[in-house]
Amino acid sequence: MARKGMSAGGAAGELARFLRANPGVTQVDAFLADMNGVPRGKRFPVHEAAKIWSGGVQLPFCLYFLDVTGEDLDPGGRSEARGDPDGNAWPVAGTLALIPWANEPTAQVLLTMPDQRNQPCLVDPRQVLARLLARFAKRGLIPVVAVEMEFYLTDRKRGPQGEPLPPISPATGEPDSTRQLYSIGGLDIYADFVRDVAAAAKLQNVPASTAIAENSPGQFEINLYHDNDAVRACDHAMLLRRIIKSVAARHGFAASFMAKPYLDRAGSGMHVHCSLVDAKGRNLFDDGGEAGTKLLRHAIGGLAATTAEAIALLAPNINSYRRYRPGSLVPMGTAWGYNNRSVAFRIPTGSPQARRIEHRIAGADANPYLAVAAVLAGMLHGIERRIDPGAPATTDVSARIDPRIPFQWNEAIARLRKAKILPDYIGADYLALYADAKAAELAKFNTAISPQEHTWYL
């Protein structure tokens, strides 16, 4: 049976057209993004792939809340205690594409779980964000979103204690030690990798934009274009992360979106750019001047009001919190400002028609759907409550620590459990699931003995 709202012919047509254009394809990977942004799904031989579109893909709900090691910790008795039930996932239109790094001709398609048996699917981060967008639509507001992600290339070999090692420079054959922010020469050294990422992104209809060499050896940022469908913008972010990891492996590197792989080097962030437009495409943050509209300031006020509750979504694991270090240009509070990279909510310089907020708190390890949902929830809260954000910061505030923000993982989880604002926008059920899953992951992490313990106490 075809997906509700789509004819059987229309559902099968996308695949049929694709296979006519790519007759050599032998298999199709169908996957979803879990709570941690890890792709999980099934590989179908091409002669069975039509059923992905005609009947969906049966996948256990627990795939959405596995921990980072792939284990089902049964958070709150939501999987094993209920017999590990399946849900029905469906392909996301427009995401069927070739996989250029595969060893044999292979395609991929992104999955999502819409309503299940006329009940909302409460475990899919993609649907969490989609439900929030519907609330914007009722107010005549359309978020326009772009996601920027920093990452490291590393050597595929690890150090003696499992620590990452800098990549071997293609230019010298030695471990990379360059620290050249925005260096074109740095991009030249890794030009083959950057070129293949761009080619794969184009093949998969992922609108990748600028590539930047960051401030540490092997660290880069590849940006995405703004999109007036925030869910699609997050699809692109998730797919780009898969492209980067896969292309890196083909070039003999590992790629990591870990927030703080090196204590003595820059962390990797996920910056979310967002504006709001109306049905005619007019930027509602633009008043023709440099300051922007009251709506812009209200959105910032809401972001400040929700950050303490949202930090567990923006920083999803124990390493995430190592990135928050005073004086490192990583926000330690909720200050905002114009053309100021030390604040949490930056208003970039440029044309008033492009007036937007750059949210700078999330780590690169965050799930894009959940990070963007947290950002949009804060903005909408501020708009609905007309919250004043106070005066903008005009100096470096990155060393100013806001004691209201929980910068420890256990404290962030506890703060999310007590949330008063976010449940109204993201859903109490999903936030409870997320908190239970992360608490279980933290408890599991605490059962391991670290190398530092052996060094200090043995």
* Assigned CATH topology for domain 8-119: Ubiquitin-like (UB roll) (3.10.20)
Q: What is the average pLDDT value for the chain, to the nearest integer?
A: 93
| Widest Cα–Cα separation across the chain | 67
H helix or E strand, kind and range, residue 33? strand 27-33
Over the stretch 353-383, which tens digit does the pLDDT of each residue have? 999 999 999 999 999 999 999 999 999 999 9
CA 35/CA 137 separation, integer angstroms: 25
N-terminal to C-terminal alpha carbon distance within the chain: 62
pLDDT at 5 over 50: no
pLDDT at 238 over 90: yes
Nearest-10 crossing angle of helices 191-203, 230-250: 140
Q: What is the DSSP string of 385-402?
A: HT----SPP-S--TT---
Q: Which of 385, 388, 386, 381 is nearest to 423 (CA)?
A: 381
Over the stretch 289-304, which tens digit does the pLDDT of each residue have? 889 999 999 999 999 9
Nearest-10 crossing angle of helices 230-250, 125-138: 150
| Tokens found for residue 96 | 């069927």
Count CB-CB contacts under 10 A for residue 82.
11
Provide the residue ranges of all domains of the chain, joining segments of one domain with +.
8-119, 134-449
pLDDT value at position 183? 63
307 neighbors 378 (Cβ within 8 angstroms): yes
Q: How confident is the model at residue 3 (pLDDT cuts 50, 70, 90)?
A: very low
Assign 3-class secondary structure to 84-145: CCEEEEEECCCCCEECCCCCCCEEEEEEECCCECCECCCCCHHHHHHHHHHHHHHCCCEEEE
Q: Which of 368, 63, 410, 50 is nearest to 238 (CA)?
A: 368
CA 288/CA 306 separation, integer angstroms: 28
Q: Is 351 exposed, middle or buried (0-12, 13-18, 19+ CB in 10 A)?
A: exposed
Q: What's the whole-model pTM score?
A: 0.95
Over the stretch 34-65, which tens digit does the pLDDT of each residue have? 999 999 999 999 999 999 999 999 999 999 99
pLDDT at 196 over 50: yes
pLDDT value at position 179? 67
**Which CATH number fits the domain 134-449, given the four candidates 3.40.50.1820, 3.40.50.1860, 3.30.1490.20, 3.30.590.10?**
3.30.590.10
pLDDT value at position 217? 84
Q: Which of 262, 249, 251, 273 is nearest to 219 (CA)?
A: 262
